[in-house]
Each structure stands twice: as structure tokens, then as C-alpha cells.
Structure 1
């Protein structure tokens, strides 16, 4: 049902359960809703893993975590009357909840553009709008019009975690700091580990702090990369929460990662970020835009894109889309990015 963008909205519900990058990209929409409906109480419904992303966000009144398979526990959400519901998950899971809601009116569900994606992946026919982004599509799903003033920002107000301060052997980060995100749930999205080592060694030699970040499942691999970069490099993989990752990133100077949630989180923390794209491309809507400054690293190959999310096996078997992006190219780009205004 088409939503009317005029009128007062007292209670607004935004639904996006996963994945981490998609949830982080809610930030510009929250900015738009705050400006359009300044008195509204905005609630974000997401997976419990991601509630920390909104812990300090002044634009929302509450964030609710709901585990997958526990939709029957959404009683507090179902019982409340909503003036506007924005379903950005648009799945059977979210529809199971929205059909039970008491609501005055609802916005459009988020269009995942499955048909356009199918034609691009299998027939190399591009029907995507030029330079459209997921964040703009989120905003349109709310019934608002995307503009250039929506800030891609999340809020992390706590001090630097004590365990990170201790590893840095300083009460605060004084030297410039680069955060590296070498991991992805989709293996084809991972830039070669040895390339990350080269980048880390370069910045460590230049006097920067170098931090490896990742999840609990990546702790051992992160430690291996850390040891190859040098003993002054530190790893927080599996040691701090997602909220604490935001607190650390808010104090970083630069970041480099694959096309994953942590790279989007770095940008939401105001960090200049280099993002490496291989099996996924601009059309899917995850290329960075606006502030803060960013740099995309990619190579042109006829086999790109090869998978909607990245995939775990390469049809060429050599993962050329990632391996042909050299550490030297990335280092040059990061240095230029760090010097940009």
C-alpha cells in the first residue's frame, strides 16, 4: 500500500533484522525520519546481535532485538499502534509480524530488486538505475524523497574499551590509527590475507597504530595476520562487542576492508574508508557515497558480478577480481584518502 508522506506520525516502526551491513545502512533513513517527523517516537526492530548499533542513537526512542524463530515473542511490538511501519526486511519473517500489527497506515516494503539482479547476474543485462544506493531505496520505502543532506552516522558515546587502551599501551589513541577488516562471511569477498599484511606493515612502519577487527570465529586467523604484520599491531577480533567496535572505530583515522558490515560501520563512525569490491558491483547499491570520504578498489572483469552476496567459490578458480587489486594500489589510494579533506 502506498504511504502518504504528509501528516503527523507519533509512532514509527522500522524493521530490518539482517545482515549487519544492511542494518548499519539504516543511518541515513533515521536522519530523514527525524527531520520529517521530529516529534515521532521511532523504534527499530532488529536482531539482538545488532541492537548495540543504536544504543546511543538520539534519533530513536527504542531498539528491540528479536531472535529468528521467536516471532511469537513480539508481543510488545504487536500490541502497540503504529502510525507508520517501514518493512525493510521484506521477508516471510517480517511479514509474519507486520500482518499482526495495529497500524494506521504503512509504508512500502523495501524492494530488493530481485528481477533486476537476476538479469544482471545471468544475462549481463543492467536494468538498475544509475548510481542508486540501498540507503536511497530505504528512504523511498519510507515515502520520503532521498536528498544529499542525509548523514550516514551512528553514535557511540562510551570511552575507548579498557582492553583496547591497554593493548595500545596508552590512555588514548594519539597516533593515527588504521583499522583493517580482512574477513567476510562470503569467502569470495575476502581480499588476500597477505595483501592485508603488506598494508598493515606499511602503516606500522609509518608510525601508525594498526588494529585488526573481526568476530569471534575469526580470532585465530586475525592473530595470525597480526603476528605477520608485527608485534605492535593489535587484534580485537572476538574480544570486544559490536558496540565497542563502534567506540574504537570512532577514534580511528582510516579503515580498509572488504565489502562487509564493518566497512560500512567505519563510515558510519565518520572514518575515511577504503572498500574492496570483487564479486559484487555498484549496481547492488552498497558503494559508498557522500561523507565521509571513501575510496572504492575494484578491477573490471566480464565475470563481475558473479553472486548476489559474494559466494564462496570462484568460477574462474583464481579469484582474479580480488587478486588483481595490488597492495601497492591500495596503499597509494589510502594515503591519498588520508590526506584528503
Structure 2
């Protein structure tokens, strides 16, 4: 008895009959943007928690993806997975177990159950339960086995989810850095016993993998509230808003550093216009940038390293990338480091670091 299934080939306008019902066929595969196996697996790995996956599930997905025909037959170079790549893996369980770091057959079947329940694979079994390819005109057009079409149809969604997760992780790192600085300030304060007890548990909260970004923001707001009254009553050090010192004579600032002064910020080039401004006359060494050197203790040895630190600080302080770029163009690398250092020292008081930095560009002297 012949079984037929009618579907539409990729890119075709007329339906055609598949030779066997229930098999995974190229003609029945969904359309998706081409993506390499490495990029897809990296996105799945980053978004694993949001997808409900464990590390062992990722091992099985990696093994399945490794059987897709994605190598150029002539150059053996890796090619992207496309809708014209057969997405049904017909390798046996023994071969899959070998590539899945020695999982047992029973463990492999459990992982298949999990992946299918999450909507990432579809099992396409033949009548006798065997996996094998279906050929037409000497080429493989389909197969019975493990169909990865559901995974590839969600590839763009998974990539977007991974990017969102990565952005949240970067924000978390920045928030945790700000909280760490505020905790060091709170240690020197005379606080009630219940506040001190809660403060002692903050570091444990930061270490938890399940701590949400909302909880981190709440902790930051609480710590800023503890520090703010002290900042209002105590004498504050000179910063951006303090009265600028007289502009030093350019001749009094050496253009070159001696070989004996190993801590001088040698590779931070000053902007041409900075000679006319009161820009950090007190900054002679990397350690003078107290807040920045606390996060980045190793003095940068190249201009590229300085730029990398500036962009990282911008993310930590939640400063718009355009603001950072405008600042580098207007005042140069050295002044940007000085201003970011001052902003990070007053992070508990500044509502918007982005707006604060942008307004400082308009200052006639700094």
C-alpha cells in the first residue's frame, strides 16, 4: 500500500507529492535565514536558560548538528545551514552516543524526549523504527530520523534571545561593580544593626546565579539611599562641579615622561584642545585615577587598551555609546578617562551619568 503526503517544496509555487509519509524531507522544511552551526550552537548555549535547556541537552544538540551536511565537498570548509540542507539526522543511536561524549542509549532517548517537549526537534520514525535516507535520482531528498526543522525555524528567535541575555549580563556586571563600590563606602559608616546585617548579605545575593536584574537595581537604589545623606553632610572632594583650579602653565607640564616613572600614564594621548583647558593637572600616574584603577588595576600600554577601558566604563555607567563617541571626538582619550573617573566616584549622587557627561562637554574649563 502506497502512502503519500502532499506539501510544498521550498521556493515552489505548486504542491508536489512526497514518496513516503512521515519522513523528514527537504521539500517540507521551513524557510529560515542561513546560519552556521557554530553561530547557532553559541546562541542556543547563551539562551539555554530561557529555552529551558541544561548543559547535557546542549551536548546532544551539538552531536545532532554535527551530522548535518554542511561541508563543501571540494574544500571541506564549513558552509551555513540553509533551507536546502537536509535537516533530518539519520545517524544511529550508537553513533550519536559516541559524539555526545559517551552518553548511554537510555540517556540519549531521555534527551530526545526533553528536546521534543521543548519544541526543538521532531522524531520521524519509520515503520520498523530504523533511521535511513530516502534518495531520488541519486541524491538524498529526505530521511527518517531526528528532524531539526523546529530548531532551525526558531533560529532567529534564539539569536535575538541570546543577544538580549548578553545585554542583560553586561548591565548586571556594571550594576554589580557600582554596588561593590558603594559597599566599600558603607563599611566606614555608622549604621544600625539591622542595616549592617542586611549589608553583610548583599555580597551573597550578588553571587547567586538566580538573582534577577530587578533585584540588583533595587539593591543599588537602597545603597544609594544609605550613602546620599552622608555625602550631603560631609565635606566632598573636588570633582567636576567644584571650582576649577587655575590653568597651569603649559611649560610646567612635561611633554615626555622619564623611564624611571613607570606608573605615568604614558600611552594616554591628550587632545590638541586640552592645552587650553584645565584638564586633570593633578593626574600624573594611572593610580591617580582612583576609581578607574580600582576596576582596571593594570595600566593600559596602548591607545587601543585605553579605548577598550573607556567603552567598558561607558557600559558600566550606562552611558550612551554616541555620547562616548562624541566625547572622544571633542575632548580626547585622556580627558574622557578623567571625567569618567570623576563620574564613577560620584555615581551614587548622579541621576543620569549620560546627561552629566554630555553637559561637561560644554564647560569652558574643567
TM-score range, shorter chain: under 0.3
Task: Say which structure, 1 or 2, has more relative contact order (CA 8 Å, 6+ apart).
Answer: 1
When normalised by structure 2's length, the TM-score is 0.24
Q: Higher strand share goes to which structure?
A: 1
Q: Higher helix share goes to which structure?
A: 2
When normalised by structure 1's length, the TM-score is 0.25
| Structure with bigger gyration radius | 2
